[in-house]
Structure 1
Amino acid sequence: MHRTLRPTLRALLGLPIGLLGLCACSQPDLIVYVSLDQEFSQELIQEFEKETGLSVRAEYDTEANKTVGLVQRIIEEAKVPRCDVYWNNEVAQTVRLANLGFLAPYTSPSAEGIPDQFRDPDGRWTGFAARARCLIVNTELVAEPGSIHGMWDLLDPSWAGRVAFARPLTGTTLTHACALFDAIGEEAALRYLTTIAEGSALDSPPVHVAQSNGRTRQLVESGQLAWAWTDTDDFNVARLKGAPVMRILPDQEPGPEGQPPLGTLLIPNTIAILKDAPHRSAAERFVDWVLSEEVEERMAFSRSAQIPVRASVPRPPHVASDLVAMRVSYAALGAQIADRTRTLKELFLNP
């Protein structure tokens, strides 16, 4: 009987071992959560795999749930962490994760030359390859684009029904809305955002509140609206299509009584290693690769037209280089974003 069972036992024991071997082979060397649009980031991740031989499982945010979805996943997975690296397309939610204790310090040698304003003092995240908030204008519908100067033009009655702003509950529009509270003060920011939100409930809203920056771009490039807020990467997509559009960097001129320009918000990508990253060594290699000058240059020359944060990195002429940036504290943005989000949800989900 013993001899009869032995081959059977070997077969039974061999089956799960074989299956386990297959599972082990299918496991990635690195798991990266990515909030930068997949169309812009996927090619870079594939290039990293090709150069290093490491396999990467990249998981992406949806456009409508940009940034917030993956941040919530990281928080929910705290007891059983899956993610090694978080590549965010903005900064406030990354700062929030750092403040909550989810990120590990790491000073990448590739970060040399990145200005301090784009680096966490404790080394938990690093910013690179920024976008600017901008206005996309349909030149066939706007006879004098030079008459549009900045954020307050959105509320000008002469533009009522012809302009758009993305709902500021996710992604860069959320970061932008939160930054306004610091940049122009609580009262003015609340007045601006409340006017947009309350108007969106009307049958003919003065400002169309769209689902995303990609949607505001589409409304303008298609000629449905005259102009809208978006990001420089979304504008560049329309430019490359040959759409009749131009970009305006808002609030670049001095304010009343010689006040300095408000400037436009500059929003860097950020990258960070999770505190309990299962694949720490591979995570460091990936961060080093992404933060290199070569990758930042590629992002500048790509369809997303990202703005290098290092002056030494080459860029094409259409990538903004000489602009007045809004004076904000990224640390303050991250500390306040949870409370600001609650305020914005009250405004825009129940206008």
Structure 2
Amino acid sequence: MFTACNLSPDEVTVYCTVDQVFSEPVLKDFERETGIKVKAVYDTEETKSTGVMNRLIAEKDNPQCDVLWSGDPVRNSVLQSRDITKPYQSEQTRLIPDHFKEKDSHWIGFSARARVLIYNKTLIPPDSLPRSILDFTKPRFKGRFSIANPLFGTTTFHMAALFESLGDEKAKQWMNDIKTNGAVVAASNGDVKKRVMNGEMAFGLTDTDDAFEAKKESDEVDYIFLDQQENGIGTLIMPNALSLIKGSPQNENGEKLINYLLTRETETKLAKSCAQMPLIKGTEVPENVPSLDNIQPMKIDYKTTSEKLQVIQPWLKAWTEQ
């Protein structure tokens, strides 16, 4: 544990839930270009997003972190509700569309991922795949698919979005039905990816960055966006989210880091390294990175989804332990 008195004026502390292999090179570039040393704390794969969020809550009265870089905005909203974040608005934040930032700028989004179905082409042909997440309950898919533990990471966000979109009763019924249909609960999105790649599972739910990596590693793996049919519920879009921590030791350096991350250059780096989809118009990306313009998004409010997440946590815990 490091404390404020150990920090120099040329340092900034960031807590990050984005995979270290993708986020660390960007933070190293910031160090090199600004001369400000970055002290980074990363979440583990198994406790994605929950670990650093709980740490920030525990440190509320003695903040050790300047910036939270989260892989989705839900935890930022939870921290906002606990008076741990502070608004931050700059010229850079204005580059981001309004839908992808909190109205008072307690969090600002950039570089989005989406939830997708990853599948093994040797085990299931494309024309036999489910086209909606609601199809997972069909008998022909029994025991053939996997989701990550819904208590952690983007799977928690996804389940909260489903509860918000479908309503509590229908969402609970769906989760109970996929359990009855033999859904395998994996440790993480990365674990879902591995199970599909090694042929243990025919398909599973994960994020575009994991699916992109799987495609690079194996010709037997591909992915699709679910619920794209007319009147479908759509695909969950998950922007990265940045928050400035209230009363942090190096607020000014935290602002500099946020401004650095909210650039076309950073979005291009993340598009190239892990197929993240830019939010800033005019950002240069590789041809294989999908455009948000071509994806039907799930229509959710990030704030109410965050509130829903907190309400359903006990139910999700009970579901995982059944």
In structure 2, the residue matched to 1:15 is none
* 1:310 aligned onto 2:292: no
Alpha-carbon distance in structure 2 between the residues aligned to 1:333 and 1:28: 37
Q: How far 1:24 sits from its partner (Å)?
A: 5.5
| Equivalent residue runs for 1:50-69 within 5 Å | 50-69=32-51
Q: Aligned pair count?
A: 316
In structure 1, the residue matched to 2:185 is 209
In structure 2, the residue matched to 1:226 is 202
Q: How far 1:344 sits from its partner (Å)?
A: 0.6
* Structure 1 contact 183–262 (Cα < 8 Å) conserved: yes
Alpha-carbon distance in structure 2 between the residues aligned to 1:90 and 1:42: 17
| Equivalent residue runs for 1:145-156 within 5 Å | 145=127, 147-156=129-138
Alpha-carbon distance in structure 1 between the residues aligned to 2:232 and 2:261: 33
* 1:180 aligned onto 2:162: yes
| Counterpart residue identity of residue 232, structure 1 | T
CA-based RMSD of the aligned residues comes to 1.6
Alignment CA distance shift 1:337-1:316 (3 Å): same
| Equivalent residue runs for 1:1-351 within 5 Å | 29-145=11-127, 147-197=129-179, 199=180, 206-254=182-230, 260-302=231-273, 304-321=274-291, 322-349=294-321, 351=322
Q: The residue matched to 1:59 in structure 2 has which SS? A: strand
Could you list the per-position Cα deviations for residues 87-136 of structure 1 after superposition, in whole angstroms to 9, with x for gaps in the alignment?
A: 00011111111111111111132123311011111111101111100000
Q: How far 1:313 sits from its partner (Å)?
A: 1.6
Alpha-carbon distance in structure 2 between the residues aligned to 1:318 and 1:285: 31
Alpha-carbon distance in structure 1 between the residues aligned to 2:252 and 2:125: 56
Alignment CA distance shift 1:189-1:25 (3 Å): closer
Q: The residue matched to 1:97 in structure 2 has which SS? A: helix
| Counterpart residue identity of residue 207, structure 2 | D
| Counterpart residue identity of residue 111, structure 1 | T
Identity among equivalent pairs (%) = 34
Larger Rg: 1
In structure 2, the residue matched to 1:16 is none
* Structure 2 contact 197–218 (Cα < 8 Å) conserved: no
Alpha-carbon distance in structure 2 between the residues aligned to 1:28 and 1:70: 23
Alignment CA distance shift 1:145-1:211 (3 Å): farther
Alpha-carbon distance in structure 2 between the residues aligned to 1:240 and 1:310: 26
Q: How far 1:343 sits from its partner (Å)?
A: 1.5
| Counterpart residue identity of residue 311, structure 1 | K
Alpha-carbon distance in structure 2 between the residues aligned to 1:28 and 1:345: 42
Q: Provide TM-score, normalisation by structure 1.
A: 0.87
* Segments of 4+ moved more than 4 angstroms: 23-28
Of 106-115 and 128-137, deviating more is 106-115
Alpha-carbon distance in structure 2 between the residues aligned to 1:92 and 1:292: 22
| Counterpart residue identity of residue 332, structure 1 | T
Q: How far 1:182 sits from its partner (Å)?
A: 1.4
Alpha-carbon distance in structure 2 between the residues aligned to 1:153 and 1:25: 52
Q: How far 1:25 sits from its partner (Å)?
A: 8.1
* Structure 1 contact 213–231 (Cα < 8 Å) conserved: yes
| Counterpart residue identity of residue 14, structure 2 | V
Unaligned runs of 5+ in 1: 1-22, 200-204, 255-259
Alignment CA distance shift 1:28-1:73 (3 Å): farther
